[in-house]
Chains A and B, each alone.
Chain A
């Protein structure tokens, strides 16, 4: 039997109220109910990172959280962060460095990369790789992705930290 619950949350700054089945994943809620299809549904068991979104400021797996658990939360997706220009530097660097090919992983990759940049510390390529180890890319071999993140880190993260 399907059980449904009323939820109210903020998505990319806008208040949203819907009735959702308990088993509906946050990622499917965003994609199918709100038509925010920038975040992707990949493996559906938390391995690939394509569904990465922000909940209350922290990145999470959209497939490992139920929509009903996001009741009362602030959710930000790639659409919101792109529109607000928060990701402008990363998006430009990904483009210039050829850090995407098919683009399936890119929204999740950008969310994970921005999470690292927000820590305000310059880190090594090795640490960049560790941070994005939960986001799979089957096209690029990661080299260009690490190049892009490293470049933004050099230009945007203030000196004297890390």
Chain B
């Protein structure tokens, strides 16, 4: 379908962007790979799209003081090609190829994915597993929010109207750290039936609830058998069109089994 009518603005500065975002019916447009389909399907009808891709300083990947700071406008393709990410945040490097397809990765951005908070998306789960910190700017100034506190509910985050997620900061992985990213789909690039993003003992499932779910009980267990059993306490995945809750829970156990040896040795 065709999108409903809206106005379009491409601010050149943050100040200009914040002024435009005063409109309560404005929406932020970054890569547009989730927003534009939702407009095409008329699930959303904003008055104004504020295209933030012209804003300076949001497209960098910078390593400093044990963190990698990734600007909100960094595309999935740039994440995939980044030597810093491959070296310092292996979990993200493993996750990126699972995101949609090349043509979509060329435009979709990390900031857009995190701010949208799709429960089946890859980055939010990785950010929770890695305990990333998000930098948020608004008219009132800048604030930082932990990924573990940022995702509130289905497509709901800590962002308030008029605010912009400008960067995400991930801690550099140590040599002894273990990262595993796994995702089950019917076909490469589809939305995950269920997925796992794990960093050492922080095991996070996605496609398993309204937001990334930390498998805190499973992570405490010594043996795989006990951990799989504990998943029943950690997860209550909602059924989707094709898979029941029980199927998803079973598949979560399959992913845990595949990840277990890497995480525990």
Chain A contacts to B: CB under 8 angstroms: 1-3, 5, 21-23, 25, 28, 44-46, 49, 52, 58-61, 63-66, 68-69, 112, 115-116, 129-131, 133-135
In the complex, 11 of the A-B residue pairs with CB atoms within 8 angstroms, ordered by the A residue number, are A1-B5, A2-B5, A3-B5, A5-B8, A22-B7, A45-B40, A46-B104, A65-B32, A68-B8, A69-B29, A133-B189
Q: Does B19 contact A (CB under 8 A)?
A: no
The answer to whether B5 and A22 touch across the interface, beta carbons within 8 angstroms, is: yes
Bound Cα distance A1, B7 (Å): 9
Residues from chain A with a CB closer than 8 A to the CB of B101 are 49, 112, 133-135
Bound Cα distance A11, B187 (Å): 33
Among the interface residues A1, A3, A49, A135, which one has the most CB atoms of the partner chain B within 10 A?
A3
The answer to whether A134 and B8 touch across the interface, beta carbons within 8 angstroms, is: no
Closest residue of chain B to A20 (Cβ to Cβ) is: B8
Closest residue of chain B to A53 (Cβ to Cβ) is: B103
The answer to whether A65 and B189 touch across the interface, beta carbons within 8 angstroms, is: no
Assess A46 versus B33: contact at CB under 8 Å? Given A58-B106, A133-B189: yes
Residues from chain A with a CB closer than 8 A to the CB of B53 are 69
Partner of A59, one of B2, B49, B106, B189: B106
Which positions 92-142 of chain B face chain A at CB distance < 8 Å?
100-104, 106-107
Number of interface residues of B (CB under 8 A): 30
Residues from chain B with a CB closer than 8 A to the CB of A2 are 5
Residues from chain B with a CB closer than 8 A to the CB of A3 are 5-8
Residues from chain B with a CB closer than 8 A to the CB of A25 are 2-3, 36, 40
Residues from chain B with a CB closer than 8 A to the CB of A66 are 8, 32, 36, 49
Q: Does B41 contact A (CB under 8 A)?
A: yes
Bound Cα distance A129, B33 (Å): 22
Q: Does B241 contact A (CB under 8 A)?
A: no
Identify the 8 closest CB pairs spanning chains A and B, nearest first.
A134-B101, A22-B8, A45-B37, A58-B106, A3-B7, A133-B188, A23-B3, A59-B103
Residues from chain B with a CB closer than 8 A to the CB of A28 are 2
Q: Does B156 contact A (CB under 8 A)?
A: no
Partner of B187, one of A46, A49, A133: A133
CB of B82 to closest CB in A, whole Å: 16
Bound Cα distance A21, B5 (Å): 8
Bound Cα distance A131, B105 (Å): 12
Q: Does B66 contact A (CB under 8 A)?
A: no
The answer to whether B33 and A130 touch across the interface, beta carbons within 8 angstroms, is: no
The answer to whether A64 and B33 touch across the interface, beta carbons within 8 angstroms, is: yes
Bound Cα distance A30, B2 (Å): 15
CB of A56 to closest CB in B, whole Å: 9
Q: Does B239 contact A (CB under 8 A)?
A: no
Bound Cα distance A133, B100 (Å): 9
Partner of A64, one of B6, B37, B51, B187: B37
Assess A46 versus B8: contact at CB under 8 Å? Given A59-B103, A60-B107: no
Bound Cα distance A58, B1 (Å): 25
Residues from chain B with a CB closer than 8 A to the CB of A1 are 5
Residues from chain B with a CB closer than 8 A to the CB of A129 are 188
Bound Cα distance A1, B8 (Å): 12
Q: Does B55 contact A (CB under 8 A)?
A: no
Q: Does B39 contact A (CB under 8 A)?
A: yes
- If A22-B7, A64-B37, A134-B100 are given as contacts, then 15 extra A-B residue pairs at C-beta distance below 8 Å, sorted by A number, are A3-B5, A22-B8, A23-B2, A23-B3, A25-B3, A46-B37, A46-B104, A59-B102, A60-B104, A63-B36, A64-B107, A66-B32, A66-B36, A66-B49, A131-B102
CB of B188 to closest CB in A, whole Å: 4
